[in-house]
């Protein structure tokens, strides 16, 4: 036993050592719908410029929820980290919240795979903001590799898009488009059961960014094509997300349509489609120039529309929009990259307006401010413009491959050590097997010899049994005649002569004992002859049951019992005489073990290919301790009848032999003190077997 445990332990160790044993991981737990809605409502306020202190606002909203799960905590830290990266840049705070994101997912990387891969990209954004571009590339690479190895293609689309954005910010728009198109292909593999973000928000964002890239390349026809494609995509989803039942999704579609129309209007203006450009820009402003909508985008659309009016010489309309913009831009509190882009556009617009009305001093002021801001933006972009992201990826990948090769060498050494251990164990096992094999052969020879001896003993036992059975039949047959004579003499004595009461009682006892002895002799002659002389014929079972009941009705009447029958016409190929004996024995037992005035019910039912006979009484039943041995030949299950009838104990054993010889089965159901039901099931063959 100890050796077996040691061997099992060694193999378990080797299995875990060579192939790894995973610990039980936490199951994925989704975000609660109410918290999901919280993010959408707070992001609406943030995008509209109404939340200068977004982290504090988010903390106050979270205070109403208890027991946050891992995904809910991670999303909270993610949104605050993005706020400090994109809206109110504070990279130290962003790093602190990114560290919290890592801590939440520690040990759960295989459960929250999408979130874990996203952590790499957030880290890359922080490093990029710190101008640590090579380290940023390494983070992007690690995130992409993890996603490629552990996530379906659908979930890698947003990571591919993030890489494209880096190229976009480098002003490498051609290469950015390649990434964006790849993201569109990847997100197209997502099924309809994915979240709204995946099936709606992401695809329209990818299409819009492709159009922006073509616009930056001055490929305006291609830009219009993708803006129209994004607009059609948004409009095709409106019916799926009605305003009443899904207000958050409908709101996003409205905002997205406004953004696309603003971009489309700007390109149409450049192409000279003035009427269509004005219509698109006005509709964009109408949608997003509202609280909780994309007010920064509405400002951009106003700048484009005012520029269109300037180009057309409509100075009054341009002046009205410039005044609105001057008022709203002055109220901006968050100084993010979007703000500097809007401010740069606005300064250029106002410079053009003052130049158009010959206000040279004001025009020069805005031109100088615009030029300074433009140069700052260009210097910021210049720092990363000529960095080769692919080359950095290749270097990182080479380092990664070197690490893999080193790890593979370590694994090979581990495998070699494991193989040596396995060989040692295997040799020991083979030695042990050889030793036990020799012992087994010796034991096998001993068992073979014992088997021969047992076969000889069994043969002798069978011969002895046959001789005993033959002797029993001879004795029973020889006893039958004298016992019959004794019974007949008792009958004659009872019918003739005047006997005293005491003498008559003695003669009646002689007669009863003789009859009981004859019944016992008859049963002894039937033992082991259930199948001898089995001559089958077509028998009407219904008629046979009625005949048996009629013959035994006089016995039932002696105990004031009633026999009832419920039968249907059924014919079977059976031995009439032997099956009559079975049924008669079962009815006689029912009479014997039923109380005076009881009822015995006999039923015959025809099934598809079987006949079922049941004999039910409401007598003394069968105790549990006797049930298992009831059908045995020499059993201790003998019981006297309710009127003291003598038991012989062989009738049920003989009945079972006869029924089995017919290919049927016999069984019973009984409850002590409440009665018994015996069942006989016989096959209905068209001809004798």
Extents of the domains making up the chain? 405-526, 528-683
Query: Among 683, 680, 681, 623, which Cα is nearest to 652's?
Result: 680
Tell me if 83 sits within 8 A of 46, measured CB to CB: yes
Distances (CA, A) of 5 to 2, 431, 435, 520, 678: 5, 18, 19, 62, 53
Tokens of 412: 């090979």
pLDDT of residue 18: 36
pLDDT of residue 5: 33
Give the DSSP H or E segment for 7: helix 2-19
Q: How far apart are CA 103 and CA 105, in angstroms?
A: 5
- How far apart, in Å, do the first and last CA atoms of the chain sit? 55
b (16+ CB within 10 A) / e for 646-657? eeebbbbbbbbb
| CA-based torsion, 503, 506, 511, 512: positive or negative | positive
Give the DSSP H or E segment for 615: strand 610-616
Residue in this structure with the two tokens 């009443």, named with its chain if needed: 244
Tell me if 119 sits within 8 A of 101, measured CB to CB: yes
Nearest-10 crossing angle of helices 295-312, 274-288:
150
pLDDT of residue 636: 59
Task: Give CA angle at 190 (184, 195), nearest 5°.
Answer: 105
CB atoms within 10 A of CB 83: 24
pTM of the model: 0.50
In the chain, which stretches have pLDDT less than 70?
A: 1-26, 44-45, 47-52, 330-339, 377-404, 406-408, 462-481, 497, 508-509, 511-533, 633-638, 646-649, 686-689
Classify domain 528-683 at the CATH topology level. Heat Shock Protein 90 (3.30.565)
Q: Strands of 299-368 (E only): list them.
A: none
Tokens of 642: 């309710």
Strands 610-616 and 537-540, by their bridges, are unpaired
The backbone torsions φ and ψ at residue 443, rounded to the nearest 5 degrees and listed phi first, read: -65, -40
Tell me if domain 405-526 and domain 528-683 are identical in fold: no
Task: Give Cα 169 distance to the centre of its chain.
Answer: 45
Q: How far apart are CA 598 and CA 548, in angstroms?
A: 18
Give the DSSP H or E segment for 36: helix 33-47
The backbone torsions φ and ψ at residue 367, rounded to the nearest 5 degrees and listed phi first, read: -65, -40
Partners of 600 in the β-ladder? 563
* DSSP SS3 for 92: helix
Tell me if 458 sits within 8 A of 516, measured CB to CB: no
The backbone torsions φ and ψ at residue 667, rounded to the nearest 5 degrees and listed phi first, read: -155, 180
Q: How far apart are CA 217 and CA 270, in angstroms?
A: 13
Tell me if 287 sits within 8 A of 322, measured CB to CB: no
pLDDT of residue 268: 94
b (16+ CB within 10 A) / e for 253-286? bbbbbbbbbbbbbbbbbbeeeeeebbebbebbbe
Tell me if 373 sits within 8 A of 347, measured CB to CB: yes
* DSSP SS3 for 539: strand
Q: How far apart are CA 314 and CA 310, in angstroms?
A: 6
Q: How far apart are CA 611 and CA 299, in angstroms?
A: 93
CATH placement of domain 405-526:
1.10.287
- The model's pLDDT over 314-330, given as tens digits with 9 standing for 90+, comes to 999 989 998 888 887 76
């Amino acid at each position: 036993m100890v050796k077996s445990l040691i061997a099992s332990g060694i193999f378990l160790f080797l299995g875990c050592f060579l192939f790894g044993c995973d610990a039980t991981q936490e199951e994925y737990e989704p975000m609660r719908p109410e918290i999901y809605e919280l993010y959408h409502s707070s992001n609406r306020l943030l995008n509209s410029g109404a939340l200068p202190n977004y982290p504090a606002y988010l903390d106050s909203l979270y205070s109403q929820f208890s027991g946050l799960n891992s995904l809910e905590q991670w999303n909270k830290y993610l949104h605050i980290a993005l706020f400090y990266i994109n809206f109110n840049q504070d990279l130290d705070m962003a790093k602190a919240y990114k560290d919290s994101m890592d801590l939440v997912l520690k040990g759960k990387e295989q459960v929250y795979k999408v979130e874990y891969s996203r952590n790499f990209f957030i880290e890359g954004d922080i490093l990029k903001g710190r101008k640590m571009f090579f380290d940023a590339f390494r983070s992007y690479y690690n995130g992409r590799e993890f996603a490629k190895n552990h996530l379906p293609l659908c979930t890698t689309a947003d990571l591919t898009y993030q890489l494209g954005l880096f190229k976009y910010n480098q002003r490498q728009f051609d290469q950015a488009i390649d990434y964006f198109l790849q993201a569109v292909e990847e997100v197209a593999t997502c099924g309809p059961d994915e979240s709204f973000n995946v099936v709606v928000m992401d695809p329209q964002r990818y299409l819009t960014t492709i159009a922006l890239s073509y616009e930056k390349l001055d490929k305006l026809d291609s830009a219009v094509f993708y803006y129209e494609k994004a607009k059609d995509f948004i409009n095709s989803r409106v019916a799926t997300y009605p305003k009443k039942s899904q207000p958050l999704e409908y709101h996003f579609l409205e905002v997205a349509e406004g953004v696309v129309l603003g971009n489309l209007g700007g390109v149409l203006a450049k192409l000279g489609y003035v009427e269509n450009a004005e219509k698109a820009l006005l509709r964009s402003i109408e949608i997003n120039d509202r609280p909780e909508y994309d007010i920064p985008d509405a400002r951009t659309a106003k700048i484009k529309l005012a520029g269109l009016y300037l180009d057309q010489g409509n100075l009054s309309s341009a002046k009205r929009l410039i005044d609105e913009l001057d008022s709203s831009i002055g109220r901006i509190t968050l100084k993010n990259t979007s703000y500097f882009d809007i401010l740069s556009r606005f300064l250029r617009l106002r410079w053009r307006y003052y130049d158009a009305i010959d206000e040279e001093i004001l025009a020069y002021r805005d031109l100088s401010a615009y030029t300074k801001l433009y140069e700052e933006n260009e210097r910021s972009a210049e720092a990363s413009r000529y960095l080769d992201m692919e080359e950095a990826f290749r270097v990182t990948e080479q380092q990664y491959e070197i690490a893999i090769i080193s790890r593979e060498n370590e694994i090979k050494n581990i495998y070699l050590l494991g193989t040596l251990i396995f060989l040692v164990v295997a040799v020991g096992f083979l030695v042990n097997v050889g030793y036990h094999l020799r012992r087994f052969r010796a034991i096998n020879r001993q068992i073979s010899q014992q088997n021969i001896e047992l076969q000889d003993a069994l043969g002798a036992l069978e011969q002895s049994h046959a001789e005993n059975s033959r002797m029993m039949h001879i004795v029973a047959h020889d006893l039958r005649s004298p016992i019959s004579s004794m019974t007949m003499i008792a009958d004659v004595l009872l019918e003739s002569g005047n006997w005293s009461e005491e003498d008559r009682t003695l003669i009646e006892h002689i007669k009863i004992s003789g009859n009981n002895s004859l019944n016992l002799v008859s049963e002894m002659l039937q033992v082991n002859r259930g199948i001898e002389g089995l001559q089958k014929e077509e028998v009407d079972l219904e008629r046979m049951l009625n005949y048996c009941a009629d013959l035994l009705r006089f016995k039932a009447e002696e105990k004031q019992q009633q026999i009832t029958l419920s039968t249907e016409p059924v014919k079977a190929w059976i031995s009439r005489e032997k099956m009559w004996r079975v049924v008669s024995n079962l009815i006689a037992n029912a009479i014997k073990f039923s109380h005076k005035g009881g009822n015995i019910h006999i039923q015959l039912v025809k099934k598809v290919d079987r006949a079922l006979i049941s004999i039910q009484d409401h007598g003394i039943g069968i105790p549990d301790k006797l049930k298992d041995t009831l059908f045995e030949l020499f059993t201790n299950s003998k019981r006297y009848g309710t009127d003291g009838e003598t038991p012989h104990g062989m009738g049920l054993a003989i009945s079972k032999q006869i029924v089995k010889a017919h290919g049927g089965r016999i069984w019973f159901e009984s409850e002590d003190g409440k009665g018994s039901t015996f069942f006989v099931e016989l096959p209905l063959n068209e001809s004798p077997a």
